[in-house]
Structures are given as C-alpha cells and as structure tokens.
C-alpha cells in the first residue's frame, strides 16, 4: 500500500512538473493570491472599508507580479524602491485627478517614462510597472487627497505582505527553480519516450495522431531545455558545473529527438525527413509494421519502456540491482555485437536507445554526482569513462558583448514614444466614451505594447485581449448576479480568478484577459458601481485602446512585421552559419570553439523568430499562403538547428571520444552548406542580391575516398548523415524565401 501510494504521488508530481516546468506558474499564482489574502486580512483587522480593501488587493498584486529579478537580494532592493515610487504615484494621482488637462498630460509623461525605463533592465521595468499601475489604481478607486493617509497605509501593508510571501512563505531562489526545471525536463523526457512508444505501436490510421504527440513532446522538451539554459547562470554558481549541466541537457535532448526520427524511419516505407518532426500538421509518411520477428518488436517495445523507467528513476535517489540491470542492457546496444538481428533501420533504433540511455546516465552523473559502479558491465564502464573524459574537457568562456542601438532606433525609446502617442489618443477617445472610466482605454493601449516588437504582434495581442474581454464580460455578469452583496464571497472568487489569471498567463493571453475582466466585474460589485452598462463600456474602451495602440504602432516609428521577421531570420541564419562553421572546423581538426554557447545563441534566435512570426501564422490571418510559408520556413530552420546542434555536440567529443576523430576533408565538403546559408542571409537582407544557392553532388561524394580505406575515412556515419541532412534543409530554404538556384556543377 505504501509503495502504491508513493507511486501515485510520484506520477502526480511528474505530471505537475511536466505541465508547469519549474512550477513557475504555480508559484506566481500562489504568491500573488497569498499576498492579496494577507493584505485583506490585515486591512480587515484594522477596520478598513471596501475601497481600501480593493486598493490594497490591487497594490499587493502589482507589488508581486512586477518584480522580475532572479536573485532574492535584487528582488528585495527593487521591492524596497517600489514602495516610495508607489506612494508618490498614488499621491500624484489623487492630486491630479481633479485637474483634467494637467492630469492627462502627466499620465502620458508617466507612461513614456515607465516604458523607457525598460532599457535599465528588470529593475527599471519593475519600477515603471509599479508607477503606472498604482497611478491607474488611484483612478480606479477614485483617490482623493483627504483619503491619502489611509490609502498610502493600505499600499504599505500590501508591499509588506508581498515581501513576506516572496521571501518567507513562497520563496523562489534560482537554485530551487533550476532544481524544479530539472525535474520538469526529466518528466517531459519520459513523456516524449511514451509518445515514441505509442508511435511504435500505432496502426497506419493512427500514425498522424501519434506523430503529432511526438512532435508536441519534442517541442515541449526543447522549451524546457531553453528554460534551464536561461536559469543556469544564476542557479549554478560554479561556471564549470553550469556548463556541464548545459552539455548534458543538450545531449539528452538531441538523443531523444534522434530516437524519435529513427523510430519514424523504421516505420516508414522510405527515409523519414527530419522536417516531419518540426512542421505542425505535416502528414506522417506511408508506414507499415517493421519486417522483423515478433520477438524483436517485443524486445524493442520492452526496451523503450525500460528507457522510460530509467528516465523517471534517474535523479529520484532510486537505485539498485534492477535499475543497474536495465541501464547495462540499454547501454549494451552501443556495441554492434549486442544488437539483435533485424533490418538496418530497426538496428538504428536499438542504437538510438543505447545513446539515449547514455545521455540519461550522463545527466544523472552531472546532477547527482558519482554513482555506484559495482554492477557495471564493460559497456557501462566504457560509457562512464567517455563521460568523465568529456566532463574534464569542459571549461568556461566569456560571451562577447552585443552592440546596442541608440536614439530612436533603440527598442525601448521607440516603444516609449509609440505608447505615449497611443495613450494620448486613448485618453481623448476614452473621455469621449466616458469621462469617468476613460483609463481603461489607456490601460489596454499600454498592455498591448508589453513584450511586443512589431505592428503585427500588437494587432494580434489587441485582438486576443478584446476576445478575452468580451467573454469575460459575460462571465462577470453571471458572477456578479450570483454573488450579489456578499463581500467575502466576492473576494474569495476574486482570489480564485487572480490565481487562474497568473497560472494561464504564459499559455494563453486570451484566457488571462478573460479572467481579468471577470474579476473586474466582481470588483465593481464590491465598489457598488456594477452595472451592465459598465461592463459593456469596458468592452468599448478595450477595443478603443487596442485600436489606438495599433494606430500608434503603424504610424509612429513603425516596425513592420515583415521587417521584424526578416531581421530575426537574418540573425538565425547568421547563428546557424556560426555553429555549422565552428563545428565543422573542429571536426576537421581546427581549434576548439565555444560550441555550446553558439548553439544556445542559435536556439534563442530561433525562439525569437518563432514568436515574431505569430502574426503571420495566427488562425485569423487572411493570407493562407503566407501563413503556410512562415510555418514551413520556421520548421525548416528548426530542422537545421537540430542538425547543427548535433554537429556541435559531436565536435565537442573530439578530444575524448575514441570512435570520433578529426577529418580535414570535412571542411571542404561542408563549405557549400556554409556558403548557401550566407547566400540566403544576403538575399533576406537585400532582395536584389544576385547570389544563387549552389546545388550539386551529395556531401558523401564530396569527401572522396582513398584506395584501401573505408568510404568515410575516420569520421562517423552519424556526422556525415547530419551534414547531408543539413545541406538538404538549407537548399530547401531557398524556394520559400525566393532565392534562385544555380545550375548544378558537372
């Protein structure tokens, strides 16, 4: 019974960790709700009225979500600075509330300063948010000069409550977040192996669904790996340890993705394209059951299940003979003599399982330290020796500083000007709709500019906010009718809605807007200002604010979506060329380079491009051909990034791996690929560029061969395959991007 209970708890823990990596959303929701609840409790004991309770709740929410630093010390400094900023802001709001034009002008200036403050990092962003939101709070509760002492007291209580929850009740240290992210990576890796197991067993009519699950699992695993990379510097004080974890995470991700491709290839009538794992909605290739004996298929299924168990138990402190036996058997597949008799494609799957088991072993050693080696087989001992040698070769490196833009070209300056103009328009239009609640239009205009960089992104965000607001109004009407004048019931529902708002915010902006609007309906009920007209006015002001934001973005220092995506596409291509050239150079016998850092920069650039193309790939986009092209290009780039990451990881093994040695012929063979990447980048930057993409013989034929030597000399087949697939994917980019092809060389 106890074992069963532990098993259920472990499965539940893994599901939560996988759905919310690092428990970041859960922590944010609990911390915010706890700060609000504590503020309400203290203010109630002090005899505060409903207006002060609402003001305190809103201030506690602002004080909690505005802080973004990772280190607790930096968070404390920002929170301490935020309190005087909030008190000054609410005071100015109360003083200027009755002075129509002066108050409006100051509000626009405050908005400009708040957005411009982003250039000073997380602290500048937080103080700007606090200043703006607390000024908005003063307008929402109708702050007056005579009530300032009690209102400032409520805000002070809110900040103290936020500090208590942040530093004592629900602390989130970089080390703790990193630990939870590691658990999330393990859980998502296990989920991906489960999806791959379903892919093995899927019937032909189920392949599309099974492939989509593998595709989603691969993307979710990569997302978690990126989150870990972003947290490593703060969460791991030892630089060499951070680089070791980064390396092991990358190895596990590459091994898992490769295993999925090998499984798909084993089920396909022809070679499966890596693009299939990255292009949403791409149909599965024609498939059939592998032509192997039933016992071989059963062994493959058993070993995939064993790999999943190995992943789940790694890092859990669970060890013993059973785990060692499973580990040794899977690692044995790295030796040719241990592979079962089967077609080459199926044997590749067994090899992939062995490499995945090796990556899990490396990850466990990196995270938990040395393991018990008493039950090691020769294959396992060899894997440990390889990992130890690789670990010893890892050292630190410094990243070059990036050149910063200046003047109006600086993103923060441009955004500040745009928001100021849009807010001025929103104030004028909002006051024409309502002289009392015009600030809703300003708030929407402000929000649609947060974390956006192009006109298209602002348009999509405004659409999502309006959609969420419309449905939130309906929910607000229902909740207000159910609650009536029951104050504490309303506050209880407000806390539930706030938690839901923070929990879903990273997943869906529409849902977040829905919960915000439903919560506002309850707040209006508490303030005795609720009516159907007020909620409908909320929709009108939201639509107006979004329109003002789009107009300002389109007319004032505009950044067109095409320009933004082209700039990011050029950055991705540059990073891809850097990783490929550096990896091939090292594989050719050149000097060692910072391949991990270059691969991380490539992944980050690709993530930025993926976010920037959302306006082009959104379902409401009327240009279907453009939407398909954008998805296809991003999927091709993800394919290129996968092969480049694998080449970089392989290149880093050169000093230590006994089966991989430098081959000078690689530099010449891969030169065409690097030149083609540069050609495409030049065409993206200048559509009149005359260069053409080169095509011709395969990479393998370019290597040549010497009499009496193996076909590929001293390089591994895997390196050659990734180079060929990368070359094919780069050439494939030329067609959707309109880059002309050169005539094949004879």
Q: Which of 498, 409, 506, 503 is nearest to 451 (CA)?
A: 506
Band (pLDDT 50/70/90 cuts) for residue 2 is: very low
Three-state secondary structure along 134-191? HHHHHHHCCCCHHHHHHHHHHHHHHHHHHHHHHHHHCCCCHHHHHHHHHHHHHHHHHH
Distance CA 232, CA 236 (A): 6
Q: 77-86, 298-307, 404-413, 495-504: which has the minimum mean pLDDT?
A: 404-413
Q: Where are the alpha helices (DSSP H) in 281-343?
A: 294-313, 321-331
> pLDDT > 70: what percent of the chain?
85
Highest mean pLDDT (candidates 82-91, 138-147, 234-243): 82-91
Distance CA 520, CA 683 (A): 50
Q: What is the pTM of this model?
A: 0.82
Report the chain's mean pLDDT, rounded to a whole number.
83
Q: 3-class DSSP state for residue 693?
A: strand
Band (pLDDT 50/70/90 cuts) for residue 737 is: confident
User: Could you give the C-alpha distances from 412 to 261, 315, 343, 552, 557, in angstroms and in order?
Assistant: 42, 42, 58, 15, 12
- Give per-residue pLDDT as tens, 502-551: 898 888 889 999 999 898 888 888 877 777 788 788 889 999 999 999 89
User: What pLDDT score does 677 carry?
Assistant: 93
User: What pLDDT score does 744 carry?
Assistant: 63
Angle, CA of 135, 140 and 146, to the nearest 5°: 75
Highest mean pLDDT (candidates 214-218, 385-389, 449-453): 214-218
Q: Is the pLDDT of residue 116 over 80?
A: yes
User: What pLDDT score does 134 carry?
Assistant: 95
With contact defined as beta carbons under 8 Å apart, do 538 and 520 qualify?
Answer: yes
With contact defined as beta carbons under 8 Å apart, do 545 and 430 qualify?
Answer: yes
As beta bridge partners, residue 287 has 268
- Give per-residue pLDDT as tens, 12-71: 777 777 788 888 888 989 999 999 999 999 999 999 998 899 999 999 999 999 998 888
Distance CA 94, CA 146 (A): 9
Q: Which of 96, 100, 99, 130 is nearest to 113 (CA)?
A: 130
Residues sharing a CB contact under 8 Å with residue 190, sequence separation 6 or more, in sequence order = 14, 18, 308, 311, 312
Q: Is the pLDDT of residue 315 over 70?
A: no
With contact defined as beta carbons under 8 Å apart, do 733 and 637 qualify?
Answer: yes
Distance CA 445, CA 556 (A): 14
Q: How much of the chain is helix, strand and coil, in % rounded to 5?
A: 75, 0, 25
Q: 138-147, 215-224, 700-709, 733-742: which has the minimum mean pLDDT?
A: 700-709
User: Could you give the C-alpha distances from 262 to 196, 347, 355, 739, in angstroms and in order?
Assistant: 10, 9, 12, 31
Residues sharing a CB contact under 8 Å with residue 590, sequence separation 6 or more, in sequence order = 667
Angle, CA of 240, 244 and 247, to the nearest 5°: 135
Q: Which of 548, 460, 438, 541 is nearest to 508 (CA)?
A: 460
Q: Is the pLDDT of residue 713 over 60?
A: no
User: What pLDDT score does 620 carry?
Assistant: 66
As beta bridge partners, residue 268 has 287
Count CB atoms within 10 A of the CB of residue 280.
13
As beta bridge partners, residue 693 has 741
Band (pLDDT 50/70/90 cuts) for residue 707 is: very low
Residues sharing a CB contact under 8 Å with residue 546, sequence separation 6 or more, in sequence order = 444, 445, 448, 462, 463, 465, 466
Distance CA 475, CA 202 (A): 42
Distance CA 397, CA 632 (A): 35
Count CB atoms within 10 A of the CB of residue 729.
25
- Give per-residue pLDDT as tens, 646-679: 888 878 766 555 556 677 777 777 888 889 999 9
């Amino acid at each position: 019974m106890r074992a069963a209970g532990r098993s259920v708890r472990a499965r539940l823990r893994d599901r939560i960790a996988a759905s919310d990596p690092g428990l970041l959303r859960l922590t944010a929701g609990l911390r915010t709700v706890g700060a609000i609840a504590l503020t309400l409790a203290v203010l109630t004991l002090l005899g505060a009225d409903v207006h002060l309770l609402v003001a305190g709740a809103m201030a506690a929410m602002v004080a909690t979500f505005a802080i973004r630093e990772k280190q607790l010390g930096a968070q404390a400094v920002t929170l301490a600075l935020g309190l005087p900023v909030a008190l000054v802001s609410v005071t100015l709001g109360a003083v200027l509330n009755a002075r129509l034009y002066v108050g409006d002008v100051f509000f626009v200036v405050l908005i400009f300063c708040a957005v411009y403050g982003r250039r000073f990092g997380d602290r500048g962003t937080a103080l700007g948010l606090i200043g703006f939101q607390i000024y908005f709070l003063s307008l929402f509760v109708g702050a007056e000069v005579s009530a300032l002492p009690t209102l400032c007291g409520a805000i002070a209580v809110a900040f103290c409550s936020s500090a208590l929850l942040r530093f004592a009740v629900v602390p989130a240290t970089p080390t703790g977040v990193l630990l939870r992210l590691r658990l999330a990576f393990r859980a998502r890796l296990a989920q991906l192996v489960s999806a791959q197991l379903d892919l093995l067993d899927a019937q032909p009519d189920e392949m599309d669904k099974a492939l989509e699950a593998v595709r989603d699992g691969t993307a979710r695993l990569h997302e978690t790996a990126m989150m870990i990379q972003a947290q490593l510097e703060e969460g791991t004080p030892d630089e060499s340890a951070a680089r070791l974890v980064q390396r092991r995470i990358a190895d596990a991700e590459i091994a898992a993705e490769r295993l999925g491709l090998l499984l798909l290839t084993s089920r396909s009538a022809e070679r499966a394209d890596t693009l299939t794992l990255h292009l949403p909605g791409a149909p599965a290739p024609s498939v059939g059951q592998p032509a192997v004996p039933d016992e071989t298929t059963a062994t493959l299924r058993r070993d995939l299940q064993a790999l999943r168990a190995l992943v789940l138990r790694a890092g859990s402190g669970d060890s013993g003979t059973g785990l060692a036996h499973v580990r040794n058997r899977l690692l044995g597949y790295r030796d040719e003599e241990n592979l079962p008799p089967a077609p080459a494609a199926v044997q590749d799957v067994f090899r992939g399982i062995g490499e995945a088991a090796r990556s899990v072993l490396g990850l466990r050693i990196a995270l938990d330290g040395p393991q018990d080696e008493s039950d090691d087989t020769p294959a396992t001992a060899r894997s440990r020796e390889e990992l130890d040698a690789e670990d010893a070769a890892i050292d630190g490196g410094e990243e070059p500083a990036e050149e910063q833009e200046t003047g109006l070209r600086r993103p923060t300056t441009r955004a500040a000007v745009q928001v100021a103009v849009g807010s001025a328009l929103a104030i004028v239009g909002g006051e024409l709709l309502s002289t009392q609640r015009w600030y809703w239009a300003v708030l929407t205009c402000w929000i649609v500019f947060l974390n956006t960089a192009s006109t298209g992104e602002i348009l999509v965000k405004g659409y999502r906010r309006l959609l969420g607001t419309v449905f939130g109004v309906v929910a607000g009407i229902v909740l207000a009718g159910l609650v009536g004048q029951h104050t504490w019931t309303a506050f209880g529902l407000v806390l539930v809605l706030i938690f839901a708002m923070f929990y879903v915010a990273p997943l869906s902006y529409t849902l977040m807007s829905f919960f915000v609007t439903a919560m506002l309906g309850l707040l209006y009920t508490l303030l005795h200002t609720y009516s159907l007209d007020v909620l409908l006015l909320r929709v009108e002001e939201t639509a107006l604010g979004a329109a003002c934001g789009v107009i300002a973005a389109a007319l004032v220092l505009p950044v067109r979506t095409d320009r933004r995506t082209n700039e990011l596409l050029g950055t991705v291509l540059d990073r891809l060329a850097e990783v490929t050239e550096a990896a091939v150079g090292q594989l050719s016998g050149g000097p060692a380079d910072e391949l991990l850092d270059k691969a991380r920069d490539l992944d980050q650039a690709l993530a930025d491009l993926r976010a920037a193309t959302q306006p082009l790939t959104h379902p409401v986009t009327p240009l279907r051909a453009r939407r398909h092209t954008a998805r296809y290009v991003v999927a091709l780039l993800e394919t290129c990034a996968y092969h480049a990451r694998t080449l970089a990881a392989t290149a880093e093994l050169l000093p230590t791996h006994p089966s991989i040695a430098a081959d000078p012929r690689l530099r010449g063979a891969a030169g065409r690929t690097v030149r083609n990447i540069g050609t495409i980048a030049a065409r993206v930057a200048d559509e009149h560029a005359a260069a053409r993409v080169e095509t011709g013989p395969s990479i393998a034929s370019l290597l040549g061969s010497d009499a009496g030597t193996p076909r590929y000399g001293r390089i591994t087949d895997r390196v050659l395959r990734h180079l060929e697939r990368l070359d094919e994917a780069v050439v494939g980019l030329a067609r959707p991007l309109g880059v002309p092809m050169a005539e094949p060389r004879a």
